[in-house]
């Protein structure tokens, strides 16, 4: 799908020397973020600040979670081009399959932590997913604990920088199958969703584990997957609980002492 000659080679982190409060200077990794322009058929759609890795997945994931496309199969090609200002990710698609309303609604410039960029009215602020997570296989507490315990082992960029989020797809027993990292928690999840949409070898039964808190827009994005639950290291917001209850998506977080705290579909 992606032309290899256009794949960017930007570094994801740099090394600097720092002086701790005690002891000699040491090497420290600093995460990089670059502007990434995402568009369709040569026309720009949005610009995001992102970690310059797995950008094909980011472009595909955003197109799906922002409802411009329904599936990765609608994309003919993804072309990545490095420029002096950043990276351009262009998706080649049949214009007939693009959702014009979604393209207009989300024409934007987004930061790494932004969840509402491009929103013009209060009515647009919280989008209700069209899908329901109800009826999917349950996820045991032990599986969620296993995913939390193993997440850091799948974060090589964060191990070097201590500043990057991760989103993981986990089997129902808590085994981590696929991970994407980014300085933005939304970007990390979009990258993972894009990777899942493009994958043909992963079992569709599983759940999501994120290194961040759970906010409402992460619930909205998770609704575009087959996830049976959304587990985040930090607690959900009230709006996230309400939205998850509407679609029947169980939430969980890590509590004091590493305990798993679960929230049922009613937000209790």
Judge whether 179 lies within some domain.
yes
- Overall number of domains in the chain: 2
Candidate from 55-59, 118-122, 165-169, 229-233 with smallest mean pLDDT: 118-122
268 located within any domain: no
- Could you tell me if 118 and 150 lie in one domain? no
Domain of 71, CATH number, reads 3.10.20.10
Residue 135 lies inside a defined structural domain of this protein:
no
Q: What is the pLDDT of residues 179-206, one digit of tens each?
A: 999 999 999 999 999 999 999 888 889 9
User: Is residue 129 assigned to a domain?
Assistant: no
Which H/E stretch holds residue 41? Answer: none
pTM of the model: 0.88
Active-site hit among 114, 117, 170, 214: 114
Q: Is 114 a catalytic residue?
A: yes
Domain that holds residue 18: 4-124
The string of pLDDT tens digits covering residues 87-146 is 999 999 999 999 877 776 655 555 555 554 554 554 555 566 666 667 789 999 999 999
Q: Is residue 30 part of a domain?
A: yes
Q: What pLDDT score was predicted for residue 30? A: 95
> Which H helix or E strand runs over 250?
none
Beta bridge partners of 93: 75
Q: For residue 263, is pLDDT > 70?
A: yes
pLDDT tens sequence across 65-86: 999 999 999 999 999 999 999 9
Q: Do 146 and 120 belong together in one domain?
A: no
CB atoms within 10 A of CB 114: 16
In a domain, 59, yes or no: yes
The pLDDT, as a whole number, for residue 100 is 77
What pLDDT is attached to residue 106? 58
Handedness of CA 61, 66, 69, 71 (dihedral sign): positive
CA angle, 137 as apex, 201 and 263 as ends, to 5°? 120
Within this chain, do residues 155 and 188 fall inside the same structural domain, yes or no? yes
| Same domain? 116 vs 164 | no
111 and 159 belong to one structural domain: no
pLDDT of residue 266: 40
* Of residues 54, 130, 38, the one with CA closest to residue 93: 38
pLDDT of residue 23: 87
**Is there a single domain that holds both residue 66 and residue 162?**
no
Residues 100 and 150 in one domain: no
Do 20 and 103 reside in the same domain of the chain?
Answer: yes
Residue 61: inside a domain: yes
């Amino acid at each position: 799908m992606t032309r290899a000659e256009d794949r960017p080679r930007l570094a994801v982190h740099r090394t600097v020397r720092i002086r701790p409060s005690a002891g000699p200077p040491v090497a420290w990794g600093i995460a990089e973020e670059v502007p990434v322009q995402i568009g369709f058929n040569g026309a720009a759609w949005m610009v995001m600040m992102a970690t310059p890795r797995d950008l094909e997945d980011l472009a595909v994931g955003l197109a799906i979670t922002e409802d411009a496309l329904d599936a990765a199969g609608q994309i003919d090609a993804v072309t990545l081009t490095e420029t002096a200002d950043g990276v351009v990710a262009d998706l080649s698609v049949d214009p007939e399959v693009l959702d014009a309303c979604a393209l207009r609604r989300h024409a934007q410039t987004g930061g790494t932590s932004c969840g509402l960029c491009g929103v013009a009215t209060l009515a647009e602020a919280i989008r209700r997913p069209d899908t329901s997570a109800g009826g999917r296989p349950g996820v045991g507490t032990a599986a969620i604990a296993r995913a939390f315990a193993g997440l850091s082992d799948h974060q090589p960029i964060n191990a070097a920088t201590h500043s990057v989020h991760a989103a993981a797809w986990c089997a129902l027993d808590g085994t981590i199958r696929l991970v994407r990292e980014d300085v933005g928690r939304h970007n990390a999840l979009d990258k993972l969703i894009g990777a899942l949409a493009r994958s043909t070898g992963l079992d569709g039964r599983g759940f999501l584990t994120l290194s961040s808190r759970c906010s409402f827009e992460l619930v909205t994005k998770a609704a575009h997957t087959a996830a049976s639950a959304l587990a985040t290291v930090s607690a959900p917001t009230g709006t996230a609980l309400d939205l998850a209850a509407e679609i029947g998506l169980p939430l969980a977080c890590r509590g004091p002492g590493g305990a798993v705290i679960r929230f049922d579909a009613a937000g209790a």
